[in-house]
Structure 1
Amino acid sequence: MTPARITRGRRSEAAIAGWLLKAAADPEIAKADWEEGRPAMLPLGGCFDAVKMQPDLVHAATANTAPVQVCDALARLVDGPMVCHPGTWFYALVPAGTTETWKSPDATVLGRGAWLGVPRLDSTRPASLLPYWAVPPKEVRQLCTPEVADLLRAGVVPADAGAAGALGAAPGPAGPLGGLRVVRRRLALRNGPGPARHGTGGP
């Protein structure tokens, strides 16, 4: 990587960090938390809301439970940033106001009055029980579209198919990766042809 590209990358990261800090009640405290290795507690409902998703649904939708593989799959499936709180929840950052229009029964949206532990931008792989970016933001104001509900529905499909199989019913045509294909088809239809808009966000 050339020095110019490194400089542009650092400027981009600083701009994204600055955007996230605008959501903080006290940006200096949030920045200090990041510098000391802690997640910054950011209030929701101003710059963004967050869709709170059960890990089981995310694992089913990505057909994987290994954290690194789940992150890689999510980077291909969603169009914005996601945070993982290990062992508890995944959070997709979505536009502020999504709480007022959200209709999916598979997850709840957190908005005004709620807070979210947001990791520093270089926390992109699980190393402890601290939150990390399952999909880091690549641009300022980049958020998941509310169609992240497709990911949730994809997670429900394999679970339902598994239950049907336990009852002796024939498995559906989608199989265990059916949810993954559903999301890919929907994203392809929405985005049209062309290169992916984001990478895997590895270290």
Structure 2
Amino acid sequence: MPNPLPLVTGYATEEWLASAHPSPSTVCQEWGSIAQLALIPLGRSFEAVRIHEDIVHGFAGSDDPATVSARLAESLNGGPVIRDPGFRRYYALVPPGTAEAWRTPVVECITAGTYLGVPRADRVESNGGTRTSYWSVPMSRPNGLCTAADVLALVQVGHGLAREDES
């Protein structure tokens, strides 16, 4: 069966993301589906910090997607972040091994044993009101991940601001 989304030179980011899966061709087929979302196992090439949108929006001072994306890109030095509007979460992609040292109870770093819905690299905005995941901050290069320290700083500030809003 031909690849619906061929991995060719120039698609280094897609190739790198797909290589995290035992069957990269499966990732390409899933990206070629209507949802343009592939389930990729965590732990091998990257892990993810799952952050509730209240924390991210508190940090950004806004729930406007463009404002949030710009603020995330700036504070995470361009590190990739996936937005899952259906479950009201953001996922900051971090290097393998981050979960071992992650010590904040506010958010969870997820790793091996978990699959993450990863959008196709060109899916950078919500698709007409659907609840499908997209890149809030697109991955700019293979292995160009967020640092744990940057994500932790964002979480600490955002959690504090979100709690203030609840008062």
C-alpha contact (below 8 Å) 2:54/2:162 kept by paired residues? no
Q: Which residue of 2 aligns with 1:132?
A: 134
Written as runs of structure 1 = structure 2, the 5 A alignment for 1:153-192 is 153-162=156-165, 166=167
C-alpha contact (below 8 Å) 2:86/2:132 kept by paired residues? no
Is the radius of gyration larger for structure 1 or structure 2?
A: 1
Identity of matched residues, %:
34
- How high is the TM-score relative to the length of structure 2? 0.86
Q: Which residue of 2 aligns with 1:45?
A: 43
Q: Which residue of 2 aligns with 1:69?
A: 67
Aligned partners of 1:64 and 1:87: how far apart in 2? 18
Superposition deviation, residue 74 in structure 1 = 1.2
Q: Which residue of 1 aligns with 2:155?
A: 152
Q: Which residue of 2 aligns with 1:174?
A: none
Which structure shows the bigger proportion of residues in helix conformation? 1
Structure 1: gaps spanning 5 or more residues = 1-9, 167-203
**Which amino acid is the alignment partner of residue 160 of structure 2?**
V
- How high is the TM-score relative to the length of structure 1? 0.72
Q: Which has the higher relative contact order, 1 or 2, with Cα contacts under 8 A spaced 6 or more apart?
A: 2
C-alpha contact (below 8 Å) 1:68/1:125 kept by paired residues? no
Structure 2: gaps spanning 5 or more residues = 1-7
- Alignment length, in residue pairs? 154
CA root-mean-square deviation:
1.5
What are the Cα deviations for residues 24-70 of structure 1, in whole angstroms up to 9, with x where unaligned? 12111110111224301000000001000001000000001122221
Q: Which residue of 2 aligns with 1:109?
A: 109
Q: Which residue of 2 aligns with 1:182?
A: none
Any idea what SS the aligned residue of 1:117 has? strand
What are the Cα deviations for residues 105-143 of structure 1, in whole angstroms up to 9, with x where unaligned? 210011010000000011001112111001111111100
> Are residues 1:32 and 2:34 paired?
no
4+ aligned runs moved over 3 Å, structure 1: 160-163
